[in-house]
Amino acid sequence: MSSRTLPLLFINLGGEMLYILDQRLRAQNIPADKAKKDSAIAGWIDDDRRRVMNDIITTMFNKKFLEELFKPQDLYSKKALRTVFDRLAHASIMRLNQASMDKLYDLMTMAFKYQVLLCPRPKDLLLVSFNHMDAIKDFVKDTPGILSQVDETYQQLIEMYTPLSSGDFQLIRQTLLIFFQDMHIRVSIFLKDKVQNSNGRFVLPTSGPVPHGTQVPGLIRMFSCTGEELTRLQFSNGGNYTAALREGSFEIFGDRVTKLGTNMYSVSRPVETHMSGTSKNSAQHTKVNTAPNPLAKEELNLLAKLMGGLEVQKPGNADSGFRVNLFATDEEEEEALISRPDELSYGVIKIQATKDQQANAELAKIMGEFTESGDQSPSASSKGDDLLAMMDGL
């Protein structure tokens, strides 16, 4: 399908991730003076939160990484993409437990699935991406270094996507919908807002403004062979549609008009999910991706570039001071990990020996820098296994 889908997938998922982390960091916030009085108190102060956001955004918009991302290529497997986001989430001093990381990823993917489905026109996917970009820009507005990276990415998006036709965008959208196929995780905020049903499916309203370029359904016009209109008939369209809104801006600055892709979380509207693993659709879904799937060469390249862009982080405090919990309490988080249905587990990626020695060696070299004792990594296949375990060891 479309070879231009990955940048949009990455940027939009990344944007959602930042919205969620920002909300959780604020929710676990403690006032700065309280933190000074008692440094043993677990919690985040404003500075820390900004640092975490800046670190993640810097890594997301790393020049080499983006170069790799924008190359024409097929979409990554779900496992590979999840690994990329695991790395990204750990690009700062913040730590997430397995259960919290799973939940974070569920929320990110369901949010973007919702946005893709509800996009009135396929081209509006670009406006959704710009909404995410606008918010990211706002997160780093006080840090000129990162700001310029973000601005450059706007340019790349505009260059790559504005010339595309409506059919090209629909192909991108169809590629994304295949990626999100059969995902029906229920998200509390969606259920509350009645945009998702209790069976996990999104509500598709048959009312509201039609997309830009579309007419409200209901008119039949018939013409003579000379082109004169002979008859006009009206029919009942079965919905409650209104005329299209004005078109959103596809420039670096501008009113995007659509609300899809803007931040729907706030401290008062916390982030929660329900695990509904008993839906048979999710069981069917895992069958499609059961190939053992050693990471394809392209996926390894991207990971290598991403990790190359990461600074080696010091272990940080072992206490929960630097840990973010996506759940309300630690107990809930533990409970979620135990009770997570099998078919919804993302699986740990094991980097297996691939035929490509060079990519493998490069990865091994980068990972060699992560070992505590400073040993050079002996062989790709042994040290190369289980990336996540390595990171957890930090």
Binding of another protein by 312 (CB under 8 A)? no
Q: Which string of x and - marks every residue 81-120 that binds another protein (by CB under 8 A)?
A: ------------------------------------x--x
State how far the alpha carbon of 65 is from the alpha carbons of 10, 68, 304, 306, 359, in Å: 11, 5, 9, 6, 15
**Stretch binding another protein (CB under 8 A), from 60-68, 92-100, 220-228, 251-259:** 220-228
Binding of another protein by 353 (CB under 8 A)? no
Q: Which string of x and - marks every residue 258-287 that binds another protein (by CB under 8 A)?
A: -----------------------x--x--x
Residue 5 CB-density burial (10 A; 0-12 exposed, 13-18 middle, 19+ buried): buried
- Pick from 40, 225, 243, 312 the residue near another protein by CB under 8 A: 225
- Pick from 39, 167, 290, 342 the residue near another protein by CB under 8 A: 167
Binding of another protein by 245 (CB under 8 A)? no
Residue closer to another protein, measured from CB, 61 or 161: 161
Binding of another protein by 186 (CB under 8 A)? no
- Pick from 31, 213, 315, 341 the residue near another protein by CB under 8 A: 213
**Stretch binding another protein (CB under 8 A), from 12-20, 201-209, 256-264, 377-385:** 201-209
Give the residue from 28, 41, 34 showing the smallest Cα distance to 317: 41
Tokens (6 digits) for 139:
């997160």
**Stretch binding another protein (CB under 8 A), from 36-44, 45-53, 215-223, 342-350:** 215-223
Contacts with another protein by CB under 8 A lie at 1-4, 72-74, 117, 120-122, 165-168, 170-171, 173-174, 177-178, 181-182, 184, 197, 201-204, 206, 210-211, 213-225, 227, 230-231, 233, 235-239, 241, 281, 284, 287-288, 291, 293-294, 296
